[in-house]
C-alpha cells in the first residue's frame, strides 16, 4: 500500500474530526453500540429489561479490581448463547474528580491520547471479549448488557483502561449464560476435505495473484468465500472486521462523520489492487486503532465473474502490514507485509469461523501452487500454497437483513 505524503496530517485530521463528533454526538455513539447486538427472542420484565427464552445453563459472580486489565471468567460460550451481565461497584482514578461506575467516565479531550481496549467507551467502563485475546474484539458491558454471543470462545471481562493507568476499587459482576434461543442460526463450522464445486476447474479460472494498476503481480489469492453478498458482509462484521475506505477523500469524509472508535482509524484508505480487470469490491481491516498507520490485518475481496453451484464466489487476498519499506517501483514509502502470508490466511480463518456463520471450511492445494514470490512493491513473501475455502451459512444473509 502506497502511503501518501500527507498521510500524517490526514491521520491528525481523523483524530480531531472523530473526537469532535464523539463529544458532540454521544447519542449517536450509543446507537452504534446498540446496533452491534444481534436480535434475540425474549420477554420483557417490568423494568424494561428482557428475559432470554433459552434455558439458563450457568450463573456466576466474579469480582474485578481496578488493578486488573482483564480477568478470565473461566466460562466458555458458544455462538448464539444469550449472555446477561449486571455489574455494580466503583472505581477511582487519581486524576478524576469523582468515582465512576461500570459505565465509565464521560470521555474528555485527554481520551484522544489514551490507547484503550475499547475506544467506543470511557475510561473505567466494564468491557468484555470472547475468544483468543489476539483476535477477540472488546465490547462495552457497562452496568447492564444482554446480548447474543456472536462468536465461540472463553469469556473475559476487563476494565477499559491502559495498563499504566489503573483505578482503585472493585466491580462485582454477575453473569448468566442461557442456551441459544429457538431458531438461532449460529452453528460450528464443519471441517471437510472438500467443498462441493470448488475443484480444479474452478482454480483454473482463478488468477493466482492480484496486480497493481500497471499489471505488476502482487499479493497471492489465499482465500475463497462461497455465499451471498449480505452473508459475506455479515460474517466479516460479526468477526470484528471493518470496511476500509477506497480513497483518501472518502477517508477524510468518514473521519468527519464517525465517532472516535476503531472504525475511524481502521478505515484509513487501502490502495486499489486489481483482479478480474477491476479494483477490489471490498476492503476489510482488523487492528488496534493507534497503530493502524504502521500495522493492521487487512484484506481485499473481489466478486468472481462466475458462480459455483449457483452461489456467489468471493476471491480474496489477505496480508498483514507490519511496518514500512521502500517501494521499489518509485522509491516511495509503502507498507511492509509479513512475508509469511499463511499466518494472515489462518488469522482470517480463525476470526470468521468463530462467528458461527460459516457452514464448512477446508484448504485446497491448486495445481502448481504459488509458494514464493514478490509483491508489486518488491517485498518478498512465502506460502505453503494452500487456499482457504469457506462456505457460509445460508441463513447468514437473512440475519443481516433482520438486524439492519
CA distances from 105 to 15, 126, 161, 167, 291 (A): 20, 11, 11, 11, 24
What's the sign of the alpha-carbon dihedral 184, 263, 28, 130? Answer: positive
Which pLDDT tens digits describe the chain residue by residue (404 residues)? 444 444 444 444 444 444 333 333 332 233 233 333 333 344 444 444 566 777 899 999 999 999 998 999 999 998 889 999 999 999 999 999 999 999 999 877 666 667 788 877 899 999 999 998 877 888 999 999 998 887 889 999 999 998 889 999 999 999 999 998 766 666 778 999 999 999 999 999 999 999 999 999 999 999 999 999 999 999 998 888 888 866 544 444 444 334 444 444 455 667 899 999 999 999 998 855 444 445 678 899 999 999 999 999 999 999 987 766 666 666 675 667 789 999 999 999 998 998 889 999 999 999 999 999 988 778 889 999 999 999 998 765 454 333 33
Angle at alpha carbon of residue 188, lines to 187 and 190, rounded to 5° = 120
Nearest to 169 by CA among 63, 71, 62, 65: 65
CA distances from 16 to 13, 22, 249, 374 (A): 5, 10, 16, 38
pLDDT in tens, 111-125: 666 778 887 789 999
Beta pairing class for 282-286 and 242-243: antiparallel
Separation CA 238–CA 97 (nearest Å): 37
Which DSSP helix (H) or strand (E) runs through 193? Answer: none
Nearest to 150 by CA among 83, 97, 96: 83
In the chain, ranges of CATH 2.60.120.430 domains: 54-178
3-state SS assignment for residue 219:
strand
Nearest to 302 by CA among 293, 312, 291, 311: 312
pLDDT in tens, 229-248: 999 999 998 888 888 866 54
Q: Assign 3-state DSSP to the chain and report helix, strand, coil percentages, each to 5.
A: 20, 35, 45
Which DSSP helix (H) or strand (E) runs through 179? Answer: none
Q: Which residues pair with 279 in a beta bridge?
A: 274
pTM of the model: 0.69
Separation CA 50–CA 277 (nearest Å): 50
As assigned by CATH, the class of the 54-178 domain is: mainly beta
Q: Find the length of the chain.
A: 404
Amino acid at each position: 500500500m502506497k502511503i501518501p505524503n500527507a498521510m500524517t496530517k490526514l491521520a491528525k485530521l481523523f483524530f480531531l474530526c472523530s473526537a469532535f463528533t464523539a463529544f458532540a454526538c454521544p447519542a449517536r455513539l450509543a446507537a452504534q453500540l446498540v446496533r452491534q447486538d444481534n436480535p434475540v427472542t425474549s420477554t420483557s420484565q417490568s423494568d424494561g429489561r428482557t428475559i432470554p427464552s433459552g434455558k439458563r445453563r450457568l450463573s456466576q459472580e466474579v469480582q474485578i479490581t481496578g488493578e486488573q486489565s482483564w480477568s478470565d471468567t473461566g466460562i466458555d460460550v458458544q455462538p448464539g448463547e444469550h449472555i446477561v451481565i449486571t455489574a455494580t461497584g466503583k472505581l477511582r482514578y487519581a486524576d478524576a474528580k469523582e468515582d465512576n461506575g461500570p459505565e465509565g467516565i464521560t470521555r474528555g479531550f485527554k481520551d484522544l491520547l489514551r490507547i484503550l481496549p475499547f475506544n467506543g467507551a470511557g475510561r473505567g467502563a466494564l468491557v468484555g471479549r470472547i475468544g483468543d485475546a489476539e483476535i477477540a474484539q472488546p465490547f462495552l458491558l457497562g452496568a447492564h448488557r444482554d446480548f447474543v454471543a456472536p462468536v465461540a470462545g472463553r469469556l473475559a471481562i476487563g476494565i477499559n483502561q491502559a495498563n499504566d493507568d489503573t483505578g482503585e476499587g472493585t466491580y462485582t459482576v454477575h453473569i448468566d449464560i442461557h442456551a441459544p434461543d429457538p431458531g438461532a442460526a449460529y452453528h460450528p463450522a464443519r471441517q471437510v476435505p472438500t467443498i462441493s464445486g470448488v475443484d480444479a476447474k474452478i482454480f483454473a479460472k482463478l488468477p493466482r495473484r492480484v496486480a497493481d494498476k500497471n499489471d505488476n503481480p502482487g499479493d497471492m489469492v489465499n482465500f475463497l468465500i462461497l455465499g451471498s453478498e449480505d452473508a459475506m458482509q455479515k460474517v466479516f462484521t460479526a468477526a470484528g472486521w471493518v470496511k476500509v475506505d477506497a480513497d483518501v477523500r472518502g477517508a477524510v469524509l468518514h473521519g468527519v462523520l464517525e465517532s472516535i472508535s476503531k472504525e475511524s482509524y481502521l478505515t484509513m484508505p487501502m490502495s486499489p489492487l486489481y483482479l478480474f480487470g477491476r479494483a477490489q469490491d471490498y476492503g476489510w481491516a482488523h487492528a488496534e486503532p493507534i497503530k493502524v498507520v504502521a500495522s493492521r490485518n487487512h484484506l481485499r475481496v473481489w466478486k468472481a465473474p462466475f458462480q459455483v453451484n449457483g452461489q456467489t464466489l468471493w476471491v480474496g487476498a489477505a496480508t498483514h502490514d507490519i511496518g514500512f519499506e521502500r517501494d521499489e517501483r518509485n522509491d516511495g514509502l509503502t507498507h511492509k507485509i509479513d512475508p509469511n502470508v499463511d499466518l494472515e490466511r489462518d488469522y482470517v480463518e480463525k476470526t470468521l469461523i468463530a462467528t458461527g456463520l460459516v457452514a464448512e471450511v477446508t484448504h485446497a492445494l491448486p495445481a502448481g501452487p504459488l509458494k514464493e514470490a514478490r509483491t508489486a512493491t518488491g517485498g518478498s513473501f512465502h506460502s505453503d500454497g494452500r487456499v482457504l475455502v469457506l462456505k457460509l451459512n445460508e441463513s447468514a444473509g437473512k440475519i443481516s437483513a433482520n438486524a439492519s
